Structure formats: structure tokens, C-alpha cells
Amino acid sequence: MILLTRKIEFSASHLYHNPNLSAEENRRIFGKCNNPHGHGHNYTLEVTVAGEPHPVTGMVLDLKELKEILEREVMQRMDHRHLNYEVPELAGQIPTCENIARVIWQLLEPKIKQGKLHRVRLYESPDLFADCYRNGASRAGN
């Protein structure tokens, strides 16, 4: 099995706020991520697809096709957007790295027809990232 990874970057703003909690609780749990006008990050997304190379093309999947899927599903939805207000898939969820990675998995998995989505890794900064796998799948190749 071959693992193939493509990386893209997008910039977006967000804030952490749970309307069901008091202002003090929000502040205590989320700290400066709770600042009311939000803040932004340069996110780096690594998408890994697993599969066998096609006997004729030698490809697990066409990188151009993966690039187009990422452009359509991720860039157009999230790049230069406010994740709390402009991304319906995240509505009602706190846009943490964990939740964004999960939403991206759900957007991409049905679109990848050749090979199987193996891992979504989303970096919010070089020091913080979330990984998403299908449960029970091998987590080799980290």
C-alpha cells in the first residue's frame, strides 16, 4: 500500500465561544481564543490517501484531481473566511483544530474515488495540529 500526501494552506479567522456558557466560563475555558472579534491563523492541511498504484498510470490517484477536490471542498469554503460565521458545516460547533479536521474529513471522504482517505492532518500553527483517521484503520505512516 502506498500513502500519498498533498499539502495546501489556507488562512481563516475564528473565535471560541459557547453561547450556553457564561462570559466568565467562556473566558476561563477558552482564554484569549474567546476575544470577541476573533483572530486568525495560516492553516496547513495535509491530506493522505492510501492505495495501490494503478498498473497503467502508476498513480494511486491523479494529483491534479486531488488538487481540484481540495480547491473545491476546502479552499473555496474556508480560505479567507470566518470559520464561525461563513462555514455552514461548522455552524454550532466550536471551530477548534479537532472539529475543523473532522469536518474536512467528512467533506473529502465521499469525493475521493480512487484510493481511500487515510489521514487528514490540520496544523493551526507549527506547534498545534489535529489528525483524523477512520476508526480501526492502521495509523502507520505518521
Partner 1 sequence: MNRRTFSRTATATARAEQGIEERGTPVKEDALHIELGRRYLFAASHRLHSRQLSEEENYRVFGKCNNPYGHGHNYILEVSLSGKIDPATGMIANLADLDAFVTRHVLEEFDHHSLNEDVPAFSDKVPTTENLCIEIFHRLQNFPHAKLERVRIQETGNNSFEYAGKRRKTTRDQANRRDPAE
Q: Look at residues 51, 109, 98, 108 and name the one whose alpha carbon lies nearest to residue 75.
A: 108
Query: Which residue in 17, 73, 124, 132 is the catalytic one?
Result: 124
| Least Å from the CB of residue 26 to partner 1 | 10
Q: Look at residues 64, 60, 65 and name the one whose alpha carbon lies nearest to residue 50.
A: 60
Q: Using the minimum distance from each CB to partner 1, give the nearer residue, 114 or 129.
A: 129
Selected from 101, 108, 115, 118, the binder of partner 1 by CB under 8 A is 101
Mark whether 33 is an active-site residue.
Answer: yes
State yes or no: residue 106 binds partner 1 (CB under 8 A): yes
Q: Look at residues 116, 119, 115 and name the one whose alpha carbon lies nearest to residue 105.
A: 119
Mark whether 124 is an active-site residue.
Answer: yes
> Cα(69)–Cα(97) distance, rounded to whole angstroms?
20
For residue 136 the three cell numbers come to: 480501526
In single-letter form, the type of residue at position 73 comes to E
Selected from 46, 65, 86, 89, the binder of partner 1 by CB under 8 A is 89
Quick note: the x/- pattern for partner 1 over 15-44, rule CB under 8 A, is -x-xxxx---x--xxxx-------------
Q: Look at residues 88, 80, 100 and name the one whose alpha carbon lies nearest to residue 12.
A: 80
| Least Å from the CB of residue 103 to partner 1 | 7
| Least Å from the CB of residue 58 to partner 1 | 29
| Least Å from the CB of residue 123 to partner 1 | 9
State yes or no: residue 132 binds partner 1 (CB under 8 A): yes
76-to-55, 64, 69, 114 alpha-carbon distances in Å: 33, 16, 10, 22
Query: Any idea which residues carry the catalytic annotation?
Result: 33, 80, 124
